[in-house]
Amino acid sequence: MGRRRVYANEEERCQAARASRSKYDQSSRGRQVRAEYQTRRAKTTRRALPDNDARRASKLKSQAKYRQSIRRGRQVPVSRRKTPRLALDKAPEVRADVAEESKFLLPTVHPLFQQALSGSLEGVEPYIYSPPYPTPPSHAHCPYNTEEELDACVHGSLAAEERAVVMIGELQRVGRGQALRRWTQMASNMMEAWLQIVAEEAAYWGKDARVVRMYGIHRRWIVRRFVRLRTLAFLDQD
């Protein structure tokens, strides 16, 4: 016959162990042993450290309290936990020209920008997508009349799309390692897309002025998102 099962699960066993430890600490024997240990510890510390090294003595005392709290099953203070480093080390570096191109102002005060940002603007297709376009775009029933208004519509739509992507939740859903691998691949794909659109823009230069403007807008938005992802800046904003 095996031993009779005392505890239903591991958590119950740990609770019983903590209760037994606490009962022992409050007993006369426990207080005596603890006092003797602290006396020996203080003598050892005084012999090992110079008289003026109060900072190191305080650090050792804090470490001893921390280890004691762990033994008693108390919660580890958040400030003492080691936070894993988050970085996309294998992703392409942010070049100086890419970083400079990612810094552009949005027409946030334009009414069409605000309307597109809220998601209530229609008729901007296909300009919300990156060129080239398979057929000449139709401007019938469009909400813009000038190129500046078209720019505001496109910027607002892309800003709404960026705001809708909440990536920080991936850390909780899939874990740190898988999230970093996915973001690294995304950053690499963005850099490839930027190089491709730069080449296409150079080949298209001198043709439809609106399409040329769209090349410029989408090129800048690609590097904006790349820099935001590569530096993990979205973790401070989401």
Q: Is the pLDDT of residue 111 over 80?
A: yes
86 found inside a domain: no
Same domain, 105 and 75: no
Helices and strands, number each (H, E), in the chain: 9, 0
Identify the burial level of 160 via C-beta atoms within 10 angstroms of its C-beta, where 0-12 means exposed, 13-18 middle and 19 or more buried. Answer: middle
Same domain, 28 and 101: no
* 80-96 residue pLDDT tens: 444 456 777 788 888 88
Identify whether residues 32 and 133 lie together within a single domain: no
Q: Quote the pTM value.
A: 0.60
Neighbour tally for 117: CB within 10 Å: 21
State whether 75 and 136 are in the same domain: no
Judge if 54 and 142 occupy the same domain.
no
Please tell me whether residues 155 and 68 are part of one structural domain: no
Specify whether the CB–CB gap between 157 and 118 falls below 8 A: no
Q: Is 1 a member of any domain?
A: no
Nearest to 208 by CA among 159, 109, 139: 139
Residue 30: give the domain boundaries. 10-80
Q: What single string gives the DSSP state of each residue in 55-77?
A: HHHHHHHHHHHHHHHHHTTPPPP
Q: Tell me which of 110-119, 136-145, 178-187 is least confident.
A: 136-145
Residue 110 sits in the same domain as residue 201: yes
Identify the band that residue 166 occupies on the pLDDT scale cut at 50, 70 and 90. Answer: low
Q: Is residue 61 part of a domain?
A: yes
Give yes or no: residues 72 and 108 share one domain: no
Q: Within this chain, do residues 232 and 143 fall inside the same structural domain, yes or no? A: yes
Q: Which residue has the higher pLDDT, 169 or 179?
A: 179
Q: How many domains does the chain have?
A: 2
| pLDDT, position 43 | 64
User: pLDDT value at position 76?
Assistant: 47
Contact indicator for 161, 117 with CB cutoff of 8 Å:
no
Average pLDDT on 31-36 reads 76
CB 156 within 8 A of CB 116: yes
51 has a pLDDT exceeding 60: no
Q: Are residues 56 and 101 in the same domain?
A: no
Nearest to residue 114, comparing CAs of 153, 142, 144? 153
125, pLDDT greater than 70: yes
pLDDT band at 132 (very low <50, low <70, confident <90, very high): confident
Determine, yes or no, domain membership for 89.
Answer: no
Q: Which of 102-111, 167-176, 229-238 has the largest mean confidence?
A: 102-111
Which pLDDT score is estimated for 191?
Answer: 92
> 233 or 71: which carries more pLDDT confidence?
233
